[in-house]
A and B are shown apart, each in its own frame.
Chain A
Amino acid sequence: MKNVCLLFEIHQPFRLKKYRFYDIGADHYYYDDFANEEILKRNAYQSYIPAGKMLLEMINSTNRQFKVALSISGVAMEQFEMFCPEFLDIVRELVATGCCELTAETYSHSLSSLVDPEDFQMQVKMHQKIIFETFNYKSKTFVNTGFIYNDEIGAEVASMGFKGVITEGTKHVLGWRSPNFMYNTTAKQEVGLMFRNTRLSEDICQNFQGGLDAGTFMSWIAQGPEQEQLYLIAMNFDVIGGMHPASTGIFEFFKALPKFANQHDIRFVTPIEAFENIPSVATATVGHAISWDGYDKDVSAWMGNDLQHEAIRAIYSISERLRLSNNEVLRQDFAYLLSADHFKFMSTKQGSYVPFSPYDSSFDAFTNYMNVVSDMEIRLNQEFPATVETEELSAQLKLIENQGKEIEKLQTKIAKLEAAAAKKAPAKKETAKKEVAKAPAKKTAAKKAEK
């Protein structure tokens, strides 16, 4: 029996406003609210909401035979909450049917997996948190930004306890092998690795308006070799209704899929079902990072030129110090700036698909982003002076934190003793203890002043 696994990606970054150099140090708000709201709402009303309703209808009308997976980035979740909460309600309904899996990804839709493993772990945790808080759902499979994957990422993901990872079925990695099997990662046998069927997925993305119909599409899958059991079809969610408007019949195409699947005895599965039920045939080794982008299927759209490398270096160079900070606003800004889209806007690659770029050119994108990063650096330096080494800072902060805990502990002790003293007759012993307790607190204050 053949299985089809449908996966849709939903992501919108916080686009930056025109941030000029004279704003550096003066203006700490970086986002183009108008554009972000406009683009999110346009996408939601054209695509996300009608497509979500369509999925719901498909699940209900097929008696829950139809299954689907969604990968929604954390920054997109935030924007939905702000501008279009009704979409989250639809997702809640979808999740409630039990036929819609939500996969994990990075909070910012970031490139951290390639640059900063520590930040990567944190981003994934943040994403799981927001998914859990919003949908009361725990993701067990992982999809990286742009389907980026290599063996190191596989190991990271495995160490975080995921059941499987999804990536692109690129020719230069698979070679003679077919993407339509379950593989496993090099790091752990139990952690599965699923490859997107590039041809079938892109047939919908790119060639749909050439006259593709659901019957033909499903018959292609049905006619595949007997042993090939798993077809992962994945794309951006806005392909339905956005890239191909409703007038092209894209909604009808999807609605008809379950019927033809039934005819050909094809089953729909969610990624987690696939990872749990379909045994792996082999270990797949991926040396260089691959992705689903463009023809090259590598990471050059995000990290292809010197500008992108420099911007990535600049923003990640502050990540370590930023993690020490408790300034929530700063951390939030940092998360928004990590979205991979900002780097894609700087791409000088020919033919790379950059949807909704707010910039005239890659150089504008670079300039604007770097100006924002410069302001972030200033803000971080106000938090912690640049003259202090990160390690020293980390040690000092730890010390302060420990001292704080100590003070707290002692203060509760005092409170207890005072309460006891109030009961009893006044005792001189406790007042002496109080003096001792206060001493470390003063020391800490002195240390703070030193810096």
Chain B
Amino acid sequence: MKALMFGWEWPPHILGGLGPASYGIVRGVVNTGECDVTFVLPKPQGDEKKDFVHIIGAANTPVVWKDVDWNYVQQRYGYCMDPQEYYDLRNCIYADFSNLYTNDLGCIDFSGRYPKNLLEEINNYSIVAGVIARKETFDVIHAHDWLTYPAGIHAKQVSGKPLVIHVHATQYDRTRGMCDSGDPTFQIELDGMNHADLIMCVSELTRQTVIQKYHQNPDKCIAMHNAVEPMSEEVLNMEAKRGTTEKVITFLGRITAQKGCEYFVEAAARCLQTLEKERQSGYPNVPDVRVVMAGNGDLMEPMIRLVAQKGLADKFHFTGFLRGKQVYEMFKVSDVYVMPSVSEPFGISPLEAMQCGVPSIISKQSGCGEILQNCIKCDYWDIDAMSDAMYSLIKYPTLHDYLQEAGRNEVNQITWEKVGRRVVDAYKKLLGWS
């Protein structure tokens, strides 16, 4: 079996969660040994991990016929493609796009990021998809996230093969339900879903959003939960740089309304205040607690102000945006990780925290909660329950240790190999092969 996948990000050049998720799915699918994958990226840099997958760059695919010789193509695009492929793709140009801005090789330039003219780039991507779909042979088309839906639809129209779209997030979630039908992103998503033969959603939560807000037939929507890459040795062996014996409660993510940061501040404050009261009443063994909010976002300043109003600024720490290894360093010194998202299609970070042995509290409105047992779940608005969970994890070491151990074991069972298996099974069912 062969799948043609359209994606926007690929490690190591990642901007959000889409890259690692696409990578994991492809790795899982190829791992089954039953399916080869051709992955289309806007603009490969040449250093992508591609030992198991064939990557085609949209930026290297000609849409205007140019008479160029082998050596020139090799010199220009050799870092990421075989010149023969350039010629094969050139043979599949299906219309006159000379009105578009193309370079000397007849290719459209892509940024591969999220530029201001994103909609134009998405459109160009779907034009290129027509060329690729004519050249490649495949059994199924798989498009990751709304950016690639138009490309997927185009490929389906060219080839007549079934289209699978993978909903990693929805505009409805991103805007907290504040988008109308005139929203271009919403429109693109809706169009993609209407044309799709199968919709894979990263959680049941997202699946319900797709069914209810995008009015899709429940029969063609399935939940396909994400997994997590195993921790590298380097990260696992990282020493925790802990200067004090104080307990640390951590929030890690964009400090925005969607992430429920204000609920976190309220809950953590309540926990701190009670502990302070206990200390003053002279109870024995009251632990010292610090709270860390790592990340950046439009609500960061209001949060700092809120903390100051509560008089807890000395216990709350705002680190700003953490990148790369800093994230794991943060996990390593944490005792409790909280993800109080108001709406989270999946949410990979609790899984990473649990890999690092940090017990997690997550909101019931998070997709990852559907596949996790060994974490504490509460409603994002239930500050009482959230603060109670924080308090227990700090006060009752047994609970902390139990969740640490059981959580780590549980997360280690959630692998991309299993996801890949399920994706391939879904392909087969779609194609009527099983």
| B-binding residues in A (CB < 8 A) | 18, 20-22, 24-25, 305-307, 309-310, 348, 360-361, 363-364, 366-367, 370-371, 374, 378, 386
Contacts and interface: CB of A to CB of B under 8 A. Distances in A.
Interface of B: 270-271, 274, 278, 281, 283-284, 373, 376-377, 384, 387-389, 391-392, 395-396, 398-399, 401-403, 406
Nearest to B401: A306
Nearest to B274: A22
A348 B396 contact: no
B392 A370 contact: yes
Contacts of B274: 21-22
Contacts of A370: 392, 395-396, 399
A263 B399 CA distance: 57
Contacts of B278: 24-25
Given A348-B406, A363-B376, A21 B399 contact: no
Given A360-B377, A367-B389, A386-B284, A21 B395 contact: yes
Nearest to B384: A20
Given A363-B376, A378-B283, A21 B402 contact: no
A366 B392 contact: yes
A411 B274 CA distance: 50
**Nearest 4 Cβ contacts at the A-B interface:** A310-B398, A367-B392, A21-B391, A306-B402
Given A21-B274, A371-B388, A310 B281 contact: no
Contacts of B284: 386
A88 B110 CA distance: 81
B149 to A, nearest CB: 37
Contacts, number: 60
A367 B373 CA distance: 16
A366 B396 contact: yes
Contact of B270 (A22, A360, A361, A367): A22
Contact of A371 (B392, B402, B406): B392
A56 B395 CA distance: 52
A20 B382 CA distance: 12
A361 B396 contact: no
Looking at chain A's contact residues, the main secondary structure is helix
B398 A21 contact: no
Contacts of B396: 310, 366-367, 370
Given A21-B387, A378-B283, A367 B406 contact: no
Contacts of A24: 278
Contacts of B373: 348, 361
B398 to A, nearest CB: 4
6 contacts: A21-B271, A21-B392, A24-B278, A305-B402, A367-B376, A370-B395
Contacts of A306: 398, 401-402
Nearest to B391: A21
A306 B376 CA distance: 16
B388 A307 contact: no
A413 B344 CA distance: 80
Given A22-B270, A22-B274, A367 B377 contact: no
B283 A20 contact: no
Contacts of A361: 373, 376-377
Contacts of A367: 376, 388-389, 392, 396, 399
Contacts of A307: 398-399, 402
Contacts of B398: 306-307, 309-310, 366
A326 to B, nearest CB: 24
A306 B396 CA distance: 11
A366 B397 CA distance: 12
A363 B404 CA distance: 13
Contacts of B387: 20-22
Contacts of B377: 360-361
A307 B384 CA distance: 22
A412 to B, nearest CB: 43
A219 B395 CA distance: 58
Contacts of A305: 402
A21 B388 contact: yes
Contacts of B402: 305-307
Nearest to B392: A367
B391 to A, nearest CB: 4
A111 to B, nearest CB: 17
A363 B402 CA distance: 10
Contact of A366 (B270, B384, B399, B401): B399
A283 B106 CA distance: 93
Interface centre among B376, B398, B401 (most CB of A within 10 A): B398
A155 to B, nearest CB: 31
Contacts of A348: 373, 406
A363 B403 contact: yes
Contacts of B388: 20-21, 367, 371
A360 to B, nearest CB: 7
A104 to B, nearest CB: 33
A366 B284 CA distance: 21
Contacts of A363: 376, 389, 392, 399, 403
Nearest to B388: A20
A175 B332 CA distance: 50
Given A21-B391, A310-B396, A386-B284, 16 more contacts: A21-B271, A21-B395, A24-B278, A25-B278, A305-B402, A307-B398, A307-B402, A310-B398, A348-B406, A361-B376, A366-B392, A366-B399, A367-B388, A370-B392, A374-B395, A378-B283
